[in-house]
Amino acid sequence: MKVAYSPTKIRRNAGTYNLANLIFEQGDRALPLFHTRSEVLTRGQFELMVRCLASQFSDCVSPGERVVMALDDSPILSASFLACVSIGAIPTIINPRLNVTQVEYICKDCDAKTLIVENARVCDFLHSTQITNLVSRNRTSWDVPNVPSLESMLLNGTPYWDDFHKAYPESPCYLQYTSGSTGEFKGVVHSIKNTIWFCCLFADNHLNVGESDLIYSVPKMFFGYGMGNSLLFPLFTGAAAVLDAEWPTPQRVVANFQKFSPTILFSVPSMYHTLREHVGLFVNKVRIAFSAGSPLPMAEFEFWRNKGVEICDGIGSTEVGHVYLSNMPGKARANRTGKPLTGYECKLLDEQGQVVKDIGEMGVLLVKGPGVSKGYWNHPKKTEQCFKDGWYRTGDLFTKDREGFYEYHGREDDKFKVKGRWVVPVFAERLITEKFASVREAVLVQSTQDHDGLRPTLFLSLQPGISVDLASLEQQVTSYLSGRMESHSFPRKVIWIDTMPRNANGKLDRKMLASRAQTTS
């Protein structure tokens, strides 16, 4: 039996609700909810954890206050998040591996009063913030006196606490911090209403997730992608999820798959590639293998499909809560991100802001639907730029084919002009990675020279463990591109690099590559 709460029951500003309370009203408390290396936690046991923590949090955190959580994935992180929601606080889960400066920025940006962390390494900046409550995950991870722990709060909490703070369905409920492709952290505001909708439209309607499913998400909960997969979808559909505090190395992913045998795998293209040698583990085991975070290369799709595993590609964003454009399980296509989910509208705009009407014409994607956020916390100008009349401007470039499938062509801020003509980097990048199996990543960026102005520079990295003659491979790559690219977009320089730079959220840092291209010109 599905336990998903119907979003149609919540009308705009008609009555008040609490997201945690709505979740606890649904489903069988005996159902398993979270699988870890050491235990299986039922829905009922998890609910008691939430109530105990909420009873403790309510003594020191007021409704509306922001709470920053820099914790590894675990049931106690999930319970802390929902406990904050229960008392009307506004929690946000961030990457526990962020450096001190980044954590400080986020705490100041949302004016957080409470910070929950794994260890004491962030204490240095507390004097410069409004943090009044510092909480550790457990007593053994802390060497600062008089700091309460979540473990002690669980022991001292009241399991039958029931004072849920209710608010209007479109009021801020929690934040998700994203740095997108710009590197600038922004807190996306999510409400009860849009959360229930994006869970319903993707997990329930599109993937048909239910009680018989066990979800394993490679992306962690500090990503919008991972938070939906590991926390929200299980709570709303009756499914269970695997939670692992360890970082998802290929070896760890394989070990977890062998131990838990999940039916749904959420991952990213790079991880699917590293798991190729273990493909036999997944055949006839996973009901759904889903990929997001970056475009799924055709070669990756075809490799897995030929082995008996269909990978469904899709795209989502923190600003929409989760996936809004996706292939349909059982009908996935290579090199296509898919079609809009039922409940969402998509349109493409050209450089003049007009709707693209011609098949195959490129434009920036805008999405509209009930999962779309109202904007960014404390960033009104950025909100005005990206959110308008219910539409969110994604910044992603797409074309649409005759059958309504969308194909990804990179970011609008990735493209650049050479001699007055546009260069779309993903075109060259895709040509290279689909043709040359030894090339792991190809990135085309702009650089300048005093005597000839803007020009493209190509960065290449090899697959791990590959040993090749770089000069020979470079010649093959440029020869292959020469007959397939217009002269203005052809790379004038090729630079080999061990690994591509990425920001704190794992996004490719093109600006850093462009800066390096300048210094090596």
Could you report the per-residue pLDDT of 58-113, keeping only the tens digit for each? 999 999 999 999 999 999 999 999 999 999 999 999 999 888 888 999 999 999 99
Task: Give tens-digit pLDDT for 122-138.
Answer: 666 666 678 888 888 87
What pLDDT is recorded for position 75? 98
* pTM metric for this prediction: 0.89
Render the burial of 154-175: b for 16+ CB within 10 Å, e for the rest.
Answer: beebeeebeebbbbebebbbbb
Q: Which CATH architecture has domain 416-519?
A: 2-Layer Sandwich (3.30)
Residue 455 vs residue 63, higher pLDDT: 63
Q: List the chain domain ranges.
A: 15-167, 200-411, 416-519
Structure tokens at 365: 């994607």
Task: Give tens-digit pLDDT for 279-288.
Answer: 999 999 999 9
Least trusted range by pLDDT, from 75-89, 257-271, 341-355, 501-515? 501-515
Per-residue confidence band for 472, with pLDDT thresholds at 50, 70 and 90: very high
What pLDDT is recorded for position 449? 57
Tell me if 15-167 shares its fold with 200-411. yes
Residue 484 vs residue 318, higher pLDDT: 318
The pLDDT > 70 percentage for the chain reads: 92
Class of domain 200-411: alpha beta
Residues 6+ apart with CB under 8 A from 437: 299, 463
Does the pLDDT at position 9 exceed 80?
no
Beta carbons within 10 angstroms of residue 325's beta carbon:
27
15-167 has which fold? Rossmann fold (3.40.50)
What pLDDT is recorded for position 399? 95
Task: Give tens-digit pLDDT for 291-344.
Answer: 998 889 888 999 999 999 999 999 999 999 999 999 999 999 999 999 999 999
What pLDDT is recorded for position 505? 67
Within 13 Å, how many C-alpha atoms sit on residue 386's CB side?
A: 20
Structure tokens at 470: 């770089």
- State the average pLDDT for the chain: 90
3-class DSSP state for residue 302? helix
Structure tokens at 18: 């609490």
Residue 245 vs residue 178, higher pLDDT: 245
* Sheet containing 186-191, strands listed edge to edge, beginning at the edge strand earlier in sequence: 133-136, 114-117, 66-70, 90-93, 172-178, 186-191
Does the pLDDT at position 13 exceed 60?
no
**Mean pLDDT value of segment 371-388:** 96
What pLDDT is recorded for position 212? 96
What pLDDT is recorded for position 8? 65
The amino acid sitting at 411 is: R
Question: Residue 516 and residue 519: Cα distance in Å, rounded?
Answer: 5
Q: What is the DSSP string of 237-256?
A: HS-EEE---S---HHHHHHH
Least trusted range by pLDDT, from 51-65, 396-410, 445-459, 502-516? 445-459
Per-residue confidence band for 145, with pLDDT thresholds at 50, 70 and 90: low
What pLDDT is recorded for position 139? 65
Per-residue confidence band for 169, with pLDDT thresholds at 50, 70 and 90: very high
E strand or H helix at 516: helix 510-519
Question: Residue 297 and residue 336: Cα distance in Å, rounded?
Answer: 10
